[in-house]
Amino acid sequence: MGERNAGDVRTADGAAEIGRRVLRLRTERGLTQRQLAEPAYTAAYVSTLESGKARPSEAALRHLAERLGISYEELTTGRDPHDAIRLRAGLTDARRELAAGDAKDAAALFEELMAEAERLGFRDERATALVGLGDCAQEVGELAAARAHYEAAEELLADEPLPRRVPAIRGRAVAHFLSGELRYSCYLLESAIDELNASGLHDPNALLLLYTASIAPYMDMGAHGRAARSAELALALAPSVDDPGLIARLHRGVARTLIAEGRTAEADASLAKAQELYEQLRIHTDLAHCHWMRGYVHAQDGNLERAERELCIARDMLASKRAALYVVQVEVELADVLRRRGRTAEAEALLLPLLKRSTGDGGADADQAGGGVAASGLTAEAGAVHAGGAHRLLGLIAEERGEAATAEEHYRASLSLLERTGAAGDLADLCRLLGDLLRRAGRTEAAMDAYRRGLGHRAAPGTTTLGPAPAEPPV
């Protein structure tokens, strides 16, 4: 916490540091101790203060700051408020680049701003840059790096109120989900939701981030009721902003004019609003998950036309945000709907490119049964549930064509992927499919092994072993 306590007048070291700062600033301005002190204080008082032998009161510091022509904050912390404004403006620009541009370009901006914030001792801005770096890494599928950035941000903000830490918590939970750690992702999100709602820290923006992030892991865990409720709450909390990007640009422009006029406090407030709106641009990705959830529900109800429409909306929204990993996950579920609608060729055309093994020369071969899936879209480390789902669908298509050996390969590859994720309902269903396939081939003992394996993963539809649902926000 050294960044916060630098120059703390309550400590001897802080008083000595402020004394040295007063001496330097007074000398730079060509003032005598008497000129600095009068009319409220004496030259002797300034002398003892500059030597670090006096601990000045707030009133004395405000008097000295005014005489020196600087802010109280700059005198007590040694930080120029213009540096904070400049850093926040840069963070807003980096967030805009991530929202509308390229994640790697945004990451370069966040890296530069984080280093500067660390050099200047601005802890909050450094944490904001770390969250931005986590979001950039997550966007391009570098999940381990994303988790490390989010954890570092949480550590920096450990003594801050929970809403301030929610973006980092939310990011870490999503990274764990994309890594196939569904239960831990749900635990992180539900714990934060409970703390916000049960302890009176109701914050709509923070809750919106948490609820939208919980939809996907709930769906994959089989907790469909919880996923639907999260989507309902998220839609109710979603801000009614027609064009947040346009409004954010307006606030950035206003901030720059205010900075030029020396109105730093007003400029800071305008930049804070711009940054909040750029944060909300990411909500478009989260709201796409609500369409995704609706598509899933319609598919479960047998309304395949509406399911296809909702999933296409979700895919297009996610593609516009360059959320590549989410796009291919939605395409797996869209392929299932297309297959059920009798459009098998379209379904296969969506699935096959997602399950190719990348090679050094850019070539690709089909993955062997039981092996991990290394692909540009879905891998065992990123999107394992949907990689397993893609193999399951290809297995069903192969069965429908009478290609039993190919179907078995896909089912076993799916089983290998899903067993590490905790997607109990999917595993039970897959074991049933594999068992039925083996039984029809006369391989009774192998079929019984598959059925027994499935019983170990059996879960009632729509339930998990996650425990009680988190508290809901007050009405």
Where does residue 302 rank: exposed (0-12), middle (13-18), buried (19+ CB within 10 A)? exposed
Quick one: pLDDT at residue 278? 63
Q: Residue 130: pLDDT above 90?
A: yes
- Give CA–CA dist 140/178, Å, rounded: 12
**pLDDT tens across 362-371, in order?**
333 333 333 3
pLDDT the model gives residue 344: 94
Residue 22, CA distances (Å) to 13, 60, 79, 137 in order? 14, 12, 13, 43
Indicate the range of 16-25, 207-216, 310-319, 452-461 predicted with least confidence: 452-461
Q: 404-437 burial, b for 16+ CB within 10 Å, e for fewer? A: eebbbbbbbbbbbbbebbbbbbbbbbbbebbbeb
Residue 292: pLDDT band (50, 70, 90) is confident
Q: Pick the range with the lowest mean pLDDT from 53-62, 130-139, 466-475.
A: 466-475
Which of 9-13, 38-42, 68-72 has the lowest average pLDDT? 9-13
**Cα-Cα-Cα-Cα dihedral of 144, 336, 354, 282, to 10°?**
-40
Q: Give 184-211 pLDDT, tens digit per residue.
A: 999 999 999 988 887 776 677 788 778 8
Q: Which of 216-220, 305-309, 418-422: highest mean pLDDT?
A: 305-309
Check residue 240 and give its pLDDT: 44
Cβ proximity of 437 and 411 under 8 Å: yes
Specify the range with the lowest mean pLDDT, choosing from 69-78, 121-130, 234-243, 324-333: 234-243
Is the confidence at residue 87, as pLDDT, over 70?
Answer: yes
Q: How many CB atoms lie within 10 A of CB 382?
A: 22
Cα(253)–Cα(250) distance, rounded to whole angstroms? 5
Give the confidence band of 268 by pLDDT, cuts at 50, 70, 90: low
